[in-house]
Amino acid sequence: MIPAPQKHSYALGPGVVAPAMHPEYGRAIQELNNVNYPKAGGQPFVVDAGHGVGGPHQHTQYPYVTGTSVLALKYKDGIMVACDTLGSYGSTKRYKSMERMKPVGKFTLIGASGEYSDFHYIMKLLDELTTDDYCHDDGQNLTPTEIYNYLTRVMYNRRNKFDPLWNSLVVGGFHNGESFLGTVGMVGTCYTDSHVATGFGAHLARPLFREKQYDDMSEDEARALLEDGLRVCYYRDKNSINKFQIAKVTAEGSTISEPYALITEWGYEAFVNPAAAAVGTW
């Protein structure tokens, strides 16, 4: 057990003792550092590659369990958001029931692509904000625009530390009779629009949205258009599965559906022989 420090170094800060100032403390630290060294010699077993070599911790620099596209659009009564429930471990379809959409406060919904643990961290930050908001009990609540602006600062701040949160976020909400929809990238890039998408959805689904979406469309029309976009993403994105959730935010609040599957068709001629027009493929 490491003894409690009795004095401190002004260079290191209060309560922090340098090994040279306290030999017993220094020996205890050295024993802890030697725990992973094999008794018969050889290299120690180290979980963190930066341990013992003076390098920075890098286990947050790479995404491990990730989610793919999130699609969202405006319609007459509010915002509708959709995504699948797959968590991919690399290219392995590992987790089939991950929810990637969460409500925030009374008026806002967040959807996330990218690293799932980073999404949990972001939700923890937002939970702290909403809890503080609730404790003030002043009748004021965070609006979708405020949450969107907060997330742009969080993502850009982490990018400037060279330790980005590996997510692309969709922020949708409804407040004071107005719909809000925006997206925030992993380095703080952001924009608002009548329809947004992350991941491959930005290339596969948004062309459909540009052609057919309009702000006064009915809920049934919005749902059908979102399902068309999800279906195209499922056909073309290998890190997608046929298990989706659709959420909506209206004046009554936010709701997220139970997972369900879409009706698909695999008999298209282009699917039967996809390499027919690509000479040299197999």
Phi, psi torsion values for 57, nearest 5 degrees: -70, 130
State both tokens at 106: 């009374």
State both tokens at 224: 């059908």
Give the residue numbers marked as catalytic: 60
Parallel, antiparallel, or unpaired for β 167-175 and 108-115?
Answer: antiparallel
CA Rg, the chain, in Å? 25
Long-range contacts of 227-232 (CB under 8 A, 24+ apart): 227/82, 227/262, 229/71, 229/82, 229/197, 229/201, 229/204, 229/205, 230/71, 230/82, 230/84, 230/205, 230/262, 231/262, 231/264, 232/204, 232/205, 232/208
Q: Is 268 exposed, middle or buried (0-12, 13-18, 19+ CB in 10 A)?
A: exposed
Closest CA to 167 of 116, 103, 201, 98: 116
Three-state SS across 47-82? CCCCCCCCCCCCCCCCCCEEECCEEEEEECCEEEEE
- CA separation for the pair 50, 30 (Å, rounded): 17
